[in-house]
Amino acid sequence: MPDLQDKIILVTGATSGIGEVTARELARQGAHVIILARNAEKAATTRHRLIAATGNERIDVVLADLSVLQQVRDVAAEIHDKYPRLDVLVNNAGLMFGAAREVSADGYEMTLATNHLGPFLLTSLLLDLLQKSPAARIVNVASMAYRFSKPTLDDIQSVQDYSPVWEYGTTKLWNIMFTQELAQRLRAHGITNVTTNALHPGAVATSYGKQSGGWLSAVLALGRPFMISPEKGAETSIFLATDAKIGAISGGFFSKKKAEAVKSKFNTPVNNRRLWELSEELTGTQFLD
Write the single-letter amino acid at 276. W
Model confidence pLDDT, tens digit, residues 95-134: 999 999 999 999 999 999 999 999 999 999 999 999 999 9
Contacts of 288 (CB under 8 A, 6+ apart): 124, 127, 182, 185, 186, 188, 189
pLDDT over threshold 90, residue 218: no
For 245-261, what is the mean pLDDT? Answer: 96
- How sure is the predictor about 91, in pLDDT bands with cuts at 50, 70 and 90? very high
Model confidence pLDDT, tens digit, residues 7-58: 999 999 999 999 999 999 999 999 999 999 999 999 999 999 999 999 999 9
Under 8 Å between Cβ of 287 and 124: yes
Model confidence pLDDT, tens digit, residues 265-279: 999 999 999 999 999
Q: Quote the pLDDT of residue 215.
A: 41
- How sure is the predictor about 209, in pLDDT bands with cuts at 50, 70 and 90? very low
Up-side HSE of residue 106: CA atoms within 13 Å toward CB?
22
DSSP 103: B
User: In percent, how much of the chain has pLDDT > 90?
Assistant: 89
Q: Quote the pLDDT of residue 226.
A: 53
Under 8 Å between Cβ of 200 and 142: yes
State pTM to two decimals.
0.93
User: In percent, how much of the chain has pLDDT > 70?
Assistant: 92
Picking from 91, 117, 119, the residue whose alpha carbon sits closest to that of residue 106 is: 117
Is 168 an active-site residue? Answer: yes
pLDDT over threshold 90, residue 204: no
**Domains of the chain in sequence order:** 8-283 (3.40.50.720)
- Catalytic residue, candidates 83, 108, 162, 168: 168
Picking from 6, 23, 117, the residue whose alpha carbon sits closest to that of residue 64 is: 117
pLDDT over threshold 80, residue 224: no
3-state secondary structure 204-242: ECCCCCHHHCHHHHHHHHHHHHHCECHHHHCHHHHHHHH
Contacts of 289 (CB under 8 A, 6+ apart): 280
| Ramachandran region, residue 280 (left: φ > 0; alpha: ψ -120 to 50; beta: rest) | alpha
Q: Quote the pLDDT of residue 206.
A: 56
Q: Quote the pLDDT of residue 1.
A: 65
User: What's the mean pLDDT when you consider all of the chain?
Assistant: 93
CA distance 253 to 176: 7
- How sure is the predictor about 198, in pLDDT bands with cuts at 50, 70 and 90? very high
CA distance 219 to 222: 5
